[in-house]
Structure 1
Amino acid sequence: MRQQPVINLKGYLVGNPITDPKFDENYKIPSAHGFGIISDQIYEAAMKNCKGNYVNPTNQLCAEVLETVDSLISEIADAHVLYKKCVVAIPEPIDDAIRRKFLLEESIEPNEAPGRPTVDCFTYGYYLAYLWMNNKMTRDALRIKEGTVGEWVRCKKEVPYTQDMPSSIPYHRNLTTRGYRALVYSGDHDLQVPQLSTQAWIRSLNFSIVDDWRAWHLDGQAAGFTITYANKLTFATVKGGGHTAPEYQPEECFAMAQRWLDNKPL
């Protein structure tokens, strides 16, 4: 009988991870308040009328205040609350001007070109990635045979899967209690999966604290804050990071990951 390949798994790391809607969604409200997006009065009204349940409002007053909160959050870039709110470079119907540009540059026929952000937007890099990946020279360099692979799109909406796992917390508990090391990190300016929600579900594991909350440093400056729990579980924030922290703070994230992989304290 053929032996199955063995993966010598030692641990895992996850960043700003979607984990459980009870935590991910409910902690957006206190996080929005902490970022100064909603006022004290709105936050107090939400707490009073929603009783901590901001996912499924059970009364009209709760629904109304959550509608106000959603409207205010829509004014900012929730992936990083300090960045400009820009066109997100996701597919949209192609216009004739872009189609002509593609043909002149010997790119494949575009169907789902992303919206074009302004140059000063963080998402402009996503737009350039689309142009580069669909350029004929790039595809030739990658040895993509003509006609075998269609248009490259960064965020493909039609992913065939069914979401049947409402919470991944049991998996975190299973892996960590079996001895696998875990690093969970959060860009501290993310409102899509706020660091408060990540801290909350980690606390729900009821692991004892091994190394209490402290700053971790890079080049003599605080790069974030960290805490280590029993079962080799480490949580860390990345100061100034957004939802995809390595995109915003690559140097800090590289140092954090390198120390963790080397089994050294952050």
Structure 2
Amino acid sequence: MMLIDLKMIMEHCQGEDHMNPMNALCAQLMDRFNRLFEENSKPHILYKRCIYVSPRPNDDTTERKVLMEETGLLKHVPPRPQMECQSYGNYLLYFWANNNMTWETLGIKKGSMDEWVRCHNGDLPYSEDIKSSIQYHHNITTKGYRALVYSGDHDSVIPFLGTQSWVRSLNFPIVNEWRAWHLDGQSAGFTITYTNNMTFATIKGGGHSAPEYQPERCLAMFRRWISDEPL
């Protein structure tokens, strides 16, 4: 059913703003797709769907999810996910990062900065006026700088197919076609290399922030790349 919806979306939503489509049929299809898509964990499609740990709650039930004794410690109290959630570590990070001993150890003077938060969610004093950064990637890579582009193959926030699409849009000739790269005799993902010293690699089992989900594979990939060795 999802494949059928995607085919219809491609057919009826050409040229439409997918966030706010004017075409009635496109709007209906996108609404159906988004409702189905919300059933997944976006950072990693195989993981449990959990609360997004950010300083701005998305619903009115947040207060019930946060321990009362913790609310007095932070101005921007994040919602508390279940302990088995991948995001629970991000929740604990708020309390570690705002602990007085942490600030003293890092040499941060009291009053020099406000409370640390993980994601500001649009309240920073800047505007987003760059719709695409592809031209900047092109300008840098054509000057000979080596580039490693990697993507977790289980990420639905920025799927690897989307990353692959903008890499292809640079129109760099292929040097080495797709192949598996390995760790401990097992496939750790797939990789392809282009001219202008660009390498694109997928991380098997990786989510949105691939090193968070597959640290060993990501470390092996980076060590080989930084040492100018083939993956």
TM-score (norm 2): 0.89
Query: How do 1:76-225 and structure 2 match up within 5 A?
Result: 76-92=40-56, 95=63, 98=67, 100-101=69-70, 109-157=73-121, 158-225=123-190
- Aligned length, in residue pairs: 224
Say which is worse superposed, 94-103 or 183-192, in terms of deviation.
94-103
The answer on whether the counterparts of 2:144 and 2:197 sit within 8 Å (CA) in structure 1 is: yes
Structure 2 CA distance, aligned partners of 1:98 and 1:198?
A: 39
Residues 63-109 of structure 1 show CA distances to partners (whole Å, capped at 9, x for unaligned) of 11011111111111111111111111111478597453476xxxxx4
Residues 139-185 of structure 1 show CA distances to partners (whole Å, capped at 9, x for unaligned) of 23223333333322111232111112111111111111111111111
Query: Which residue number in structure 2 is paired with residue 74 of structure 1?
Result: 38
Structure 2 CA distance, aligned partners of 1:231 and 1:101?
A: 51
The answer on whether the counterparts of 2:153 and 2:203 sit within 8 Å (CA) in structure 1 is: yes
Residues 199-222 of structure 1 show CA distances to partners (whole Å, capped at 9, x for unaligned) of 111112221110000000011010
Query: Which residue number in structure 2 is paired with residue 261 of structure 1?
Result: 226
Query: Which residue number in structure 1 is paired with residue 194 of structure 2?
Result: 229
Query: Which residue number in structure 1 is paired with residue 8 of structure 2?
Result: 45
Give the secondary structure class of the aligned counterpart of 1:237: strand
The answer on whether the counterparts of 1:216 and 1:225 sit within 8 Å (CA) in structure 2 is: yes
Query: How do 1:15-26 and structure 2 match up within 5 A?
Result: none
Query: Which residue number in structure 2 is paired with residue 250 of structure 1?
Result: 215
Instruction: Percent identity, please.
Output: 52
RMSD: 2.1
Structure 2 CA distance, aligned partners of 1:247 and 1:132?
A: 18
TM-score (norm 1): 0.78
Note closer, same or farther for the CA distance 1:39–1:138 as it changes in structure 2 (3 Å cut): same
Residue segments in structure 2 that go unaligned for 5+ positions in a row: none
Q: Give the counterpart letter for 1:49 in structure 2.
A: H
Between 1 and 2, higher relative CO (CA 8 Å, sep ≥ 6) is seen in 1
The answer on whether the counterparts of 2:2 and 2:33 sit within 8 Å (CA) in structure 1 is: no
The answer on whether the counterparts of 2:44 and 2:206 sit within 8 Å (CA) in structure 1 is: yes
The answer on whether the counterparts of 1:50 and 1:58 sit within 8 Å (CA) in structure 2 is: no
